[in-house]
A and B are shown apart, each in its own frame.
Chain A
Amino acid sequence: MLDYTAPSTVEEAVRILAATPGTAKVLSGGTDLLVQLRSGRVKPGLIVDIKKIPDISGIREKDGGFTIGAATSGAEIGECAALQKAWPGVVEAANLIGSTQVQGRASLAGNLCNASPAADSVPAMIAARATCVIAGPKGKREAPVETITTGPGRTSLSPGEFIVAFHLPKRPPRSADAYLRFIPRTEMDIAVVGAAVNLTLDTGGVCTDARVVLGAVAPTAVIVAEAATALIGRKLDETALAALDRAARAACKPIDDKRGTIEYRTKVAGVMARRTATIAYERARERR
């Protein structure tokens, strides 16, 4: 039998989750959870709705960095002009999740903890070096986003733990990010490949720092260190782009499914990495 509770503090939520290990499910936007409940894929005894906790939704800017509440909807993220300006790639990735209706509810914490290999916001957050604030029985801890998903549908969160917020760091000058996903139509589909690029340029337009992350080409999002190396020290010329393309393809360990074959996903990953890097580079150049 299913029950529902909506604790009003983080501590109360942790207590409830710790007391019901394996049988409770955290509810934020519910756009994945309700579908799984209905299909019987998950059968929790208790739904713990975190949305009554103060500050669990909303975006706060402090000292150039941003804190985004775990349950903040995609729609709210898209409406935050300051966040859009600082982190256009994170915002465009979050806004690609589902329809307008889904955007009204879907959250970053849900997208991450649902642990789909094709989650759109996850590569962008990892490229941004975002961290999660996690509450649990031992208090709060902070962890990089890339440490959370361990495989399809699996996370590294311990019993009683849940994500309360995400931190995006302050950016150096001439920094920008971008996210692109490939789907067979123009809207409302699941990524065949997702690519996120976050980079920083010097005053001459040479890339001094880069992070390249691919989604939907492996069991979890993949940080492609060789792809970042291909960009650093260069001006995004054809040599850099070709090396980026090669590194992105080499990092792919995709599945064959109805959305794309292994060969297709691998080829498209290189193309998407190139296009995304080009957008991030142009955005960063406009910020000189």
Chain B
Amino acid sequence: MSKHHVTTVINGEPTEFLCEPQLTLLDVLRDELHLTGSKEGCSSGDCGACSVLVDGRLVCSCLMLAVEAEGHKIETIEGMAKGDELHPLQRIFLEEAALQCGFCTPGVLIAAKALLDRNPNPTETEARYWLAGNLCRCTGYDKIIRAVLDAAAELRGERASA
């Protein structure tokens, strides 16, 4: 089977890979590039565990062929912290225990960051609708939503970091 040569930028790094046409972006991120932060939950676009940003747009990486990444900028959970310094969303998720098993967390964080990049001051309802495509089966959503709203307040400078 012929492989396709794909040139992308992933988390700011120019990245090239070879892939078979049926592979999803999630397959290549995890199995080829060993960026295993993005998770495979449902593989049908329902759970959001594989969420990444493509040119700043939130998408499910299981619903995109890897070849479609040609010429696009991809951001994954691996690019969210700056070195050892966690993004406020990541830190507040830890401080407020907004996760249990953690499987959904990378997707939730990427989706929440996409929300706050667009809307620094979302209402609880806006946050809940925005994150409706990120399923969590253990924490329940209250702590997740509270952590997102607290991170938003901190990013706006209205809440001191712990």
Among A12-20, A27-35, A239-247, A270-278, the stretch in contact with B: A27-35
Cβ-defined contact, B51 with A101, below 8 A: yes
Q: How many Å from the CB of A188 to the closest CB on chain B?
A: 5
The winner among A1, A30, A99 for most chain B CB atoms within 10 A is: A99
Q: Which residue of A lies closest to B50 (CB)?
A: A101
Cβ-defined contact, B22 with A35, below 8 A: no
Complex alpha-carbon distance, A138 and B115, angstroms: 45
Cβ-defined contact, A30 with B68, below 8 A: yes
Q: How many Å from the CB of B110 to the closest CB on chain A?
A: 9
Complex interface residues of chain B between 46 and 77 (CB less than 8 A to chain A): 46, 48, 51, 54, 57-60, 62-65, 67-68, 70
For A37, the chain B residues whose CB sits under 8 A away are: 22
Q: Which residue of A lies closest to B114 (CB)?
A: A100
Is A73 in contact with chain B by the CB < 8 A criterion?
Answer: yes
Is B105 in contact with chain A by the CB < 8 A criterion?
Answer: no
Q: Which residue of A lies closest to B67 (CB)?
A: A4
Q: Is the interface of B mostly helix, strand, loop or mixed?
A: mixed
Is A115 in contact with chain B by the CB < 8 A criterion?
Answer: no
Is B101 in contact with chain A by the CB < 8 A criterion?
Answer: no
Cβ-defined contact, A104 with B58, below 8 A: yes
Cβ-defined contact, B65 with A102, below 8 A: no
For A101, the chain B residues whose CB sits under 8 A away are: 45, 48, 51, 58-60, 63, 111, 133
For B60, the chain A residues whose CB sits under 8 A away are: 31, 101-102, 105
Complex interface residues of chain B between 117 and 138 (CB less than 8 A to chain A): 129-134
Q: Number of B residues whose C-beta is below 8 Å from A?
A: 33
Is A238 in contact with chain B by the CB < 8 A criterion?
Answer: no
**Known contacts A2-B21, A30-B63, A47-B21, A102 near B44 by CB under 8 Å:** no
For B129, the chain A residues whose CB sits under 8 A away are: 187
Contact with B along A92-104 (1 / 0, CB 8 A): 0000001111101
Is B11 in contact with chain A by the CB < 8 A criterion?
Answer: no
For A30, the chain B residues whose CB sits under 8 A away are: 63-65, 68
Q: Which of A3, A34, A38, A75 is close to B57, meaning CB atoms less than 8 Å apart?
A: A75
For A265, the chain B residues whose CB sits under 8 A away are: none
For A27, the chain B residues whose CB sits under 8 A away are: 65, 68
**Known contacts A49-B68, A188-B46, A98 near B133 by CB under 8 Å:** yes
Complex interface residues of chain B between 24 and 47 (CB less than 8 A to chain A): 24, 43-46
Complex alpha-carbon distance, A75 and B61, angstroms: 16
For B133, the chain A residues whose CB sits under 8 A away are: 98-102, 188
Contact with B along A47-79 (1 / 0, CB 8 A): 101010000000000000000000001010000
Complex alpha-carbon distance, A4 and B3, angstroms: 10
Q: Which of A1, A31, A73 is close to B1, meaning CB atoms less than 8 Å apart?
A: A1
Cβ-defined contact, A102 with B63, below 8 A: yes
Q: How many Å from the CB of A269 to the closest CB on chain B?
A: 25
Cβ-defined contact, B24 with A34, below 8 A: yes
Complex interface residues of chain B between 1 and 27 (CB less than 8 A to chain A): 1-2, 4, 21-22, 24
For B64, the chain A residues whose CB sits under 8 A away are: 30, 34, 105
Q: How many Å from the CB of B77 to the closest CB on chain A?
A: 14
Q: Which of B2, B51, B58 is close to A3, meaning CB atoms less than 8 Å apart?
A: B2
Complex alpha-carbon distance, A235 and B24, angstroms: 53
Q: How many Å from the CB of B4 to the closest CB on chain A?
A: 6
Some 8 contacts from A to B, beta carbons below 8 A apart, are A1-B1, A30-B68, A31-B63, A34-B45, A47-B65, A49-B67, A101-B60, A187-B129
Q: Could you list which residues of chain B lie within 8 angstroms of chain A, going by C-beta atoms?
A: 1-2, 4, 21-22, 24, 43-46, 48, 51, 54, 57-60, 62-65, 67-68, 70, 111, 114-115, 129-134
